[in-house]
Structures are given as C-alpha cells and as structure tokens.
Amino acid sequence: MAAVVLAGAPPVGCCWHGRQIFQLLPPLSHLLHCPPLPPPRSRPLRLSSQTLHFLKSFTSAEMQVPRAVSPKEMPLGIDAGTVEEYAFQSKLLKEFTDVPSIDKAWIFKSDDGNGSRAMFSIGQANLLANKKRTFMLSSHISRETSHSVNFQWSPFPVEMTGVSAVVPSPSGTKLLVVRNKENDSPTCLEIWGPSQLQKEIHIPRSVHGPVYIDGWFEGISWNHEETLIAYVAEEPSPSKPTFSDSGFKMEGTSDKDFASWKGQGEWEEDWGETYSGKRKPALFIFNIHSGKAQAVEGIDKSLSVGQVVWAPLCMNASHNYLVFVGWLPEKGTSRKLGIKYCYNRPCALYAVEAPIEELNSDGSENVDATGYSTEAVKLSEGLNSAFFPRFSPDGKSLVFLSAKCAVDSGAHWATNSLHRMDWPADGKPCSSTSIIDVVTSWTNL
C-alpha cells in the first residue's frame, strides 16, 4: 500500500510505501472561469449587519442574473458600484471554495493484478456552516501506454459525516474509522470490511481521550498482519478531587450527585495555540480481534509522542517494534511553549517494543510468554530534530526529516533536511545506528 498526504498541494505526490502517484485527480482548471478583477478601491470596505443581509439576498441562487436595484433597496452608504463589486467578489469566492482539495490518498494492488486501486480523502469548504466537508472517492488505475494512465472513478463520492479520521489497512481490505465524540463521551473505533461493519468499539475516557488527528502529533498505523493498530491519543486525565458540604470526599461520585462537586485538580500546561486541552499525547495499541486498547509501556513520562509507524517485521525477529517521535518540554524548564508553527521545538526518533497479544484456538487471549522490553530506545542520537519517519519499501532503511536549522537558529520555520539510517537486519533497534546527515539523491536511499 502507498500512502500520500497532500495538504493544500497540487494533485501530485510521491510515496514511500512502494509506488508513486501522479495526476491523482482530473484537472480542475475548468472550474475556474474568472473574469478580470475590477480596479482596486481607494477606500476600505466596512460591512454592517444590514449590508450583509442585503448581500446575502443579492447573491442567492434566484438572483444570479444581474438586475437593476432601485435606490430605495440600497442600504445606507452603499452605491451601485459597491453592490456590483460585492456581487463579483462573492461569486469569485464561491467558485474558489467549490474546488476540492486532496487531503490524503492511498494506493493498493488490484485483486486481479491488473492496475491498482486508489482511495482519496477529499476536503471541500462549507461556507454556510463555516466547516470543512470530507468525503471519500475511489478509483481504479490502469496503465494505457508507457506514458499514460487511465483513472476510472466511482460515480459519486461518499461524505464522511461525524468522522474524525479514516485509515485503510495495507491491503485495502479493512478500514478504520475514528469518531472523536464531544462532552467527555467515549471515542468510537469502527472496523469496516468490504461490505459491512465488522466491529464497533467505544474506548472510555478512563483508557484515553480523543485520538489525535491534527497532522502533527497525529499517527495511526496498521501492523503488517492487519490485527493491531497503533495510534496517538490524549492520555487519560487524573481523577479530580470531590467535595461536599462536609469537605473533601475520599470516594468518587457520579456526575448526577447534586450533593457534591468536583474540583479542577492540578493545573497542567497544554500545547498552546489550536491545542487547547491537549496536554499529553500518548501511544496506544488497539487489538481488532479482542476489541481492547492498551497503553504502550516504556516511554518516558515527560515525552509527548506522535507520528507512530510500525517497523518492518523481520523473518527471525520475535518482537514487533514501533517507531515514533518524542517531544520534550523546553530545555531547562517544564514549559511546552506551544507547537503550532514551531518547527524549532527539539524532538527525536524513538523505538519501543509493542505489546503483542495472540489469540488461542478458542478465541481467548494469550499474552506472549517471552515478554517484551519496556524501555524505549532513542534512535536519533546527536541530532536535535527528527520527525516524519518512513521506512523504505524493502524495509532496510528508515528515512526522516529534521528541522535542525530551525532548532539551532531559533527560527520558527527553516529549511528541513532529509536523513536516513539503516534498519538492523535482525529488526532490533539500537541507539548506536549511524545517521547519514543529508540525502542528496535517490540513489543514496
């Protein structure tokens, strides 16, 4: 399977998991038939509520054809030229926001061996609701000549309402759907098969909070056998103190107990802008057979983790490993100081052994008797920034980006560099692995 992530980029891209994708969607230029812009006004435009109401009625569906507007219909301070300009700009905005953008794409081998199958997660602005619509679109890709490919698109896309994230399995036969609920409700994980919902599990807040889908800490990864899913979610909040008229209560209380109330507990810093309430992203494993989720042990409590991927499974290896990114609080303090637009926050790559549960013949769980090492290994020693890890198709190399220029200079955003390291043949990571500082050509991979 190949995974392509395109955020607001043109519909072309490349992937690490085996193949390249070019010209993902048909050209969208035919959607934009925009006349020349009018000359700029010499004074700023200020819109009153009365003006906005007038424009809303003026640009409605039944008024697309221009008509004469009497002076009595004009809001105070609005002339015919202003109305014409507002109408043109609102139409232009509508044409631009109607153009969809590819958020993510996945490609799989076709069952019959002819061509490939592809899935696309596409976003489109919803101006009235001030939200973003997300829908899925599938396609069959076949090669016509050595220089061209043919896309056979499904007739209609399917809108994903109330869905936080969608991640297909490597083979494309299973689909994970994540639904983060509000008001402290459990997170819902759905496993879909080719024609039906196979499993629906509600993860209570006592296990973990919402799954991260922010594009930075976010990390959702299927294992190669498609039985386990590693993901990043908010660590469960510590229990809050309970009080009544008599003072502090040792035992807990339900939310419907009107004779007591809960305190806020100790204050803990979150990750700042657009991350309100996001305190501690942690790593979890979900077993699709047992329907259980558990935290991955052996990770330093001071680390905020993200961008997890499964390491390749070696033939003679008895354990599976997870590679992830870890962020520490600001050096010399316990402050997080925000993460949005801040590539200058130090981070490193780590590997930790995944807890594997096997199923007996009767369906009961059997924890691996050999046990597993619970101490995470730092892979990027000597490098103050490492993120977005990806394995090469043959599983022999681990490639990642580094913002060491931003960390060294303090600039929020600077040029990133590409690095790689050899993945051990026995599948067991170590901190002494050498890192090639900069990859200058594809032949170095």
pLDDT at 48: 55
Q: Supply the pLDDT for residue 65.
A: 46
What is the b/e burial string over 215-231, where b = at least 16 CB atoms within 10 angstroms of the residue's CB?
ebbbbbbbbeeebbbbb
Give the pLDDT confidence score for residue 189 in this predicted structure: 95
Highest mean pLDDT among 46-60, 192-206, 318-332: 192-206
The answer for residues whose C-beta is within 8 angstroms of residue 133's C-beta and 6 or more apart is 123, 124, 125, 126, 159
- 77-98 confidence digits (pLDDT tens): 777 788 888 889 999 998 999 9
Query: Residue 138 and residue 152: Cα distance in Å, rounded?
Result: 9
Lowest mean pLDDT among 126-140, 205-219, 316-330, 369-383: 369-383
Question: Would you give the DSSP letter of residue 162?
Answer: T
pLDDT at 278: 83
CA distance 310 to 323: 6
In this predicted model, what pLDDT tens digit does every residue of 204-230 receive, in sequence order? 988 999 999 988 899 999 999 999 999
Report the DSSP beta bridge partners of residue 419.
Answer: 400
Q: Summarize pLDDT for 115-167 with one digit per residue, the tens.
A: 899 999 999 998 888 888 999 999 999 887 878 888 899 999 999 988 999 99
Annotate 263-310 with three-state secondary structure.
CCCCCCCCCCCCCCCCCCEEEEEEECCCCEEEECCCCCCCCEEEEEEE
Handedness of CA 29, 32, 33, 36 (dihedral sign): negative
Distances from the Cα of 396 to the Cα of 171, 174, 321, 323, angstroms? 21, 26, 14, 14
**In the predicted structure, residue 241 carries a pLDDT above the cut 90:** no
What tokens does 377 get?
């290994």
Q: What is the pLDDT of residues 25-47, one digit of tens each?
A: 344 333 334 444 444 444 444 55
Return the pLDDT at 254.
54
pLDDT at residue number 4: 42
DSSP state of 52: H
Q: What average pLDDT does the segment 429-445 reach?
A: 71
Kindly report, residue by residue over 243-271, the tens digit of the pLDDT: 776 776 666 555 555 566 666 667 777 78
C-alpha 24/C-alpha 407 separation (Å) is 35
Kindly state the average pLDDT of the residues 357-376: 52
Q: How far is CA 225 from CA 172, 173, 228, 247, 377, in A?
A: 12, 12, 8, 53, 24
How far is it, in rounded angstroms, from Cα 194 to Cα 2? 19
Predicted confidence (pLDDT) per residue in 40-81, tens digit: 444 444 555 555 554 455 444 444 444 555 666 666 677 778
Does pLDDT of 274 surpass 50? yes
**Per-residue confidence at 237, pLDDT binned at 50, 70, 90?**
confident
Mean pLDDT estimate for the chain: 77
Percent of the chain surpassing pLDDT 70: 71
Residue 428: what pLDDT? 80
Q: Look at residue 359 and tell me whether its pLDDT is greater than 50.
A: no
**Lowest model confidence (mean pLDDT) among 178-187, 363-372, 384-393:** 363-372
| Predicted confidence (pLDDT) at residue 336 exceeds the cutoff of 90 | no
Mean pLDDT of 104-120: 86
